Chain A
Amino acid sequence: MPPNSAGGAIVVPPATGLAVRAKVGLVRAWPFLPAGLMLALLFLVPMAVMVVFSLWRTTPDFDIVPDWTLDNYAYFFNTPTYVRTLLKTLIMAAAVTAAGIAAAFPFAYFLVRYVSPRWQRAVLLAVIVPFWTSYLLRAYAWQAILGPKGALNQLLTGIGVTDEPSRLFIYDNPGVWLVLVYVYFPFAALAIYASLEKFDFTQLNAAQDLGARPDQALLHILLPQVRPGLITACIFVFIPILGEFLTPALVGGTEGLLIANLIVNFFRGLQYTTMAAFCFIIAALVTVLLVIFRRYLQVEDVVART
């Protein structure tokens, strides 16, 4: 029997039980209507249009004609450049995610465990402050910092580490990695912080009282309980990087381009059907990754574990 909002029971005749359940379900679901509508209109419908476009073709006159074909997908998988660039994008996303979490986890741990709540708020504000300026400006600022005449090179030449400005930091993959780590660090830090904040740190003391080494306590007590935070951080960092365009375009030079930089060129040439197919491949990949990530979002019950 479905419980009512007060926690009691609604008694219904068996014949009308299904209808009432449906009605109760609808009443409870209506708050999701605005979000559901937005999801349908701004995500599902465009995605469906994109899939349809990806199965059509563009004529040399830039007209899109509904000739059903898999040619756009075949072009992607038959051209090694695109497959290689997609793999490179995945590696870049993984490298940025790993670095972001490696930096964010100790940061959030220290913040939650050793910093007073008042100072925690101040530090978190400092983490969020970069969001107050536009992404474009931040990426351009990095161009100025990492460039041959930028602050970093001036420092290195000033203290005698290098004789002349180094090109290592910009217009190549390391520059893209560095800027992406900077851009996505707050997402990782906030997700992990939110998870650590709920953790009862006395459990670590209890584990050690029972003979666990500190590393064992962290590995077997802390990590399983903050896993949702870590997975959320992975989702917030890894997934958006698959569609990163701006940072590679500004600091990647000709060597640091990612898959989105190639896709946007199809838009510039009005090759919408090819573009749609490539975008759908990325979207499908993201969906698969989200399904995989979702499996690990449950908090592990370390107390009940045998």
Chain B
Amino acid sequence: MDLLRKPYSRRQFLQVTAGVSAGAIAAACQAGASPTPGPTAKPEGTFNWMTWSDHYIAEQLDEIKKTAKISTNITELADNADGFAKLKEVKGQLDVISGDALWVPKYFEEGLIDAWDINSLEVAKQLYSIAREFTIWTKPEGYLGYPFGWSPILITYNPKYVSPAPDSWQALLDPKYKGKIVTENQPVEVVAYMAKAAGIKDPYNMSEAELAQAKELLLRLKPNVLKLAQQNTDTVAALVSEEAWIATSNLGTEDRVKDGGGPEVISFIPKEGTIGWMDAEMIVKEGKNKALIRPFLELAEQAEWIAQNFIDYGRPLFNEKAYQILVDKGEKERADRYFYNKPETVQTMTLKGPGLSTQGAINVFNEVFGA
């Protein structure tokens, strides 16, 4: 306490504050540095993983850390564009990154990830065979990622207010649903939905004329949109409170609405076809902890964990053995309703990915939703 009461000269004060500033900067630099595990016979250490929060369960990571001494340093992934941009910047500071569908080959073309033989993992035998053979992920050098989950984008509606039962993207454009629709705040995807409604074949690679068609429908959609949801929980909340009668969503929204105390809602795949995603874990080319990745995947992708992941997060995953566990646990009805046993559905979806009309789609979205 005496120290605090002691009068300081200006010089002393400045020296102290400069010292504190330098210390703070040094501490910040130190905190940013990533420890590198030393070489051991059996790989142990920590690797850096950029992924979505539904790709893992806390107990799963704790268990792997305890048994195999492999820990994860996880960075939340906002979306594919975000991950792609960040990996291009930080490269080897990440070891694994999750990505969707056509984004995966994009990472490879940019030289950011490795192609490898996923069949070298024993756990890969638990996958549906279709998941080991997706053409878009197959390169002469190997496979581009370890397949994880997938989902089509659905339209979910509240039958109390929406009738007759819709079967098309056109339902979103019906003026009687003014201010009653919630859609994700994902400009490229929302424009792609309108492209689907217009019957355009490739919503991510549209011509100028096709973009104009999509824009026309987007202008009709705008008055119907209550809000652009920042995340899935916003969509679910709007359906639960019955603020929204219709929403675009992933699989499982019915259950989440029900769990939230909301009304019974129904989901369907529009007759014009839909957009969808399927994701994979990619090994970063310049990752400094590559030796940890395959042992980690071998443990993390085991059917027991994947079955638990389905129970927790509710969307189909590519692990076939986990389906059997779900059946044994009495989850068959839910798993089948979520197409878990029909991975071939993936081939009927327009897969999410970077396209040649991305800039055009954003311009269209901004021009419609701006003032």
- Write out, one digit per residue, whether chain A residues 43-81 have a CB within 8 A of any chain B CB (1) or not (0): 000000000000000101010000000000000000101
Q: Name the A residues within 8 Å of B179 (CB-CB).
A: 167, 171
A253-B226, A265-B366 are contacts. A85–B84 as well, Cβ < 8 Å? no
Determine if A217 is an interface residue (Cβ-Cβ < 8 Å).
Answer: no
- Write out, one digit per residue, whether chain B residues 177-197 have a CB within 8 A of any chain A CB (1) or not (0): 001000001111000000000
How far apart sit A152 and B17, CA to CA, in the bound complex (Å)?
A: 49
Determine if A5 is an interface residue (Cβ-Cβ < 8 Å).
Answer: yes
Decide if A269 touches B356 in the complex (CB within 8 Å): no
Determine if B227 is an interface residue (Cβ-Cβ < 8 Å).
Answer: yes
Decide if A257 touches B370 in the complex (CB within 8 Å): yes
How far apart sit A270 and B80, CA to CA, in the bound complex (Å)?
A: 10
Interface size for A (C-beta < 8 A) is: 36
- Write out, one digit per residue, whether chain B residues 234-247 have a CB within 8 A of any chain A CB (1) or not (0): 00000001010000
Contact-size category for B: 35 or more
Within 8 A of A (CB), among B320-371: 354, 356, 358-359, 361-363, 365-367, 369-371
Determine if B85 is an interface residue (Cβ-Cβ < 8 Å).
Answer: yes
Determine if A131 is an interface residue (Cβ-Cβ < 8 Å).
Answer: no
Determine if A199 is an interface residue (Cβ-Cβ < 8 Å).
Answer: no
Determine if B10 is an interface residue (Cβ-Cβ < 8 Å).
Answer: yes
A91 nearest CB across to chain B (Å): 10
Determine if B222 is an interface residue (Cβ-Cβ < 8 Å).
Answer: yes
Decide if A271 touches B367 in the complex (CB within 8 Å): no
Within 8 A of A (CB), among B83-106: 84-85
- Write out, one digit per residue, whether chain A residues 133-166 have a CB within 8 A of any chain B CB (1) or not (0): 0000000000000011100000000000000000
Q: Name the B residues within 8 Å of A5 (CB-CB).
A: 10
Residue of A nearest to B79 (CB): A268
Decide if B17 touches A31 in the complex (CB within 8 Å): yes
Determine if B162 is an interface residue (Cβ-Cβ < 8 Å).
Answer: no
How far apart sit A33 and B370, CA to CA, in the bound complex (Å)?
A: 43
Decide if A271 touches B359 in the complex (CB within 8 Å): yes
Q: Name the B residues within 8 Å of A171 (CB-CB).
A: 179, 226-227
Decide if A249 touches B225 in the complex (CB within 8 Å): no
Determine if B18 is an interface residue (Cβ-Cβ < 8 Å).
Answer: yes
Dominant SS among interface residues on chain A: helix
How far apart sit A274 and B187, CA to CA, in the bound complex (Å)?
A: 16
A-B interface pairs (CB < 8 A), number: 95
Q: Name the A residues within 8 Å of B356 (CB-CB).
A: 60
Q: Name the A residues within 8 Å of B226 (CB-CB).
A: 171, 253
Decide if B14 touches A254 in the complex (CB within 8 Å): no
Decide if B81 touches A269 in the complex (CB within 8 Å): yes
B32 nearest CB across to chain A (Å): 14
A166 nearest CB across to chain B (Å): 12
Q: Name the A residues within 8 Å of B129 (CB-CB).
A: none
Residue of B nearest to A86 (CB): B371
A265-B366, A270-B85 are contacts. A85–B371 as well, Cβ < 8 Å? yes
Determine if A227 is an interface residue (Cβ-Cβ < 8 Å).
Answer: no
- Write out, one digit per residue, whether chain A residues 244-269 have a CB within 8 A of any chain B CB (1) or not (0): 00000110011001000110011111
Decide if A62 touches B370 in the complex (CB within 8 Å): no
Decide if B18 touches A34 in the complex (CB within 8 Å): yes
Q: Name the A residues within 8 Å of B367 (CB-CB).
A: 79, 81
Decide if B369 touches A257 in the complex (CB within 8 Å): yes
Q: Name the A residues within 8 Å of B118 (CB-CB).
A: none
Q: Name the A residues within 8 Å of B222 (CB-CB).
A: 254
Decide if A148 touches B243 in the complex (CB within 8 Å): yes
Within 8 A of A (CB), among B19-49: 21-22, 25
Determine if B53 is an interface residue (Cβ-Cβ < 8 Å).
Answer: no
Within 8 A of B (CB), among A5-49: 5, 30-31, 33-34
Decide if B188 touches A269 in the complex (CB within 8 Å): yes
Decide if B369 touches A254 in the complex (CB within 8 Å): yes
A31-B17, A148-B243, A167-B179 are contacts. A268–B362 as well, Cβ < 8 Å? yes
Determine if A82 is an interface residue (Cβ-Cβ < 8 Å).
Answer: yes
Residue of B nearest to A252 (CB): B227
The contact sample of 8 A-B pairs, CB cut-off 8 A, is A34-B22, A34-B25, A62-B354, A79-B367, A81-B371, A249-B228, A265-B365, A272-B85
Determine if B230 is an interface residue (Cβ-Cβ < 8 Å).
Answer: yes
Supplied contacts A253-B225, A262-B370, 17 more A-B pairs, CB within 8 Å? A30-B14, A34-B18, A34-B25, A62-B84, A79-B363, A84-B371, A85-B370, A149-B241, A250-B230, A254-B223, A257-B369, A257-B371, A262-B369, A265-B187, A267-B85, A268-B81, A270-B358
Decide if A265 touches B362 in the complex (CB within 8 Å): yes
Q: Name the A residues within 8 Å of B17 (CB-CB).
A: 31
How far apart sit A31 and B241, CA to CA, in the bound complex (Å)?
A: 56
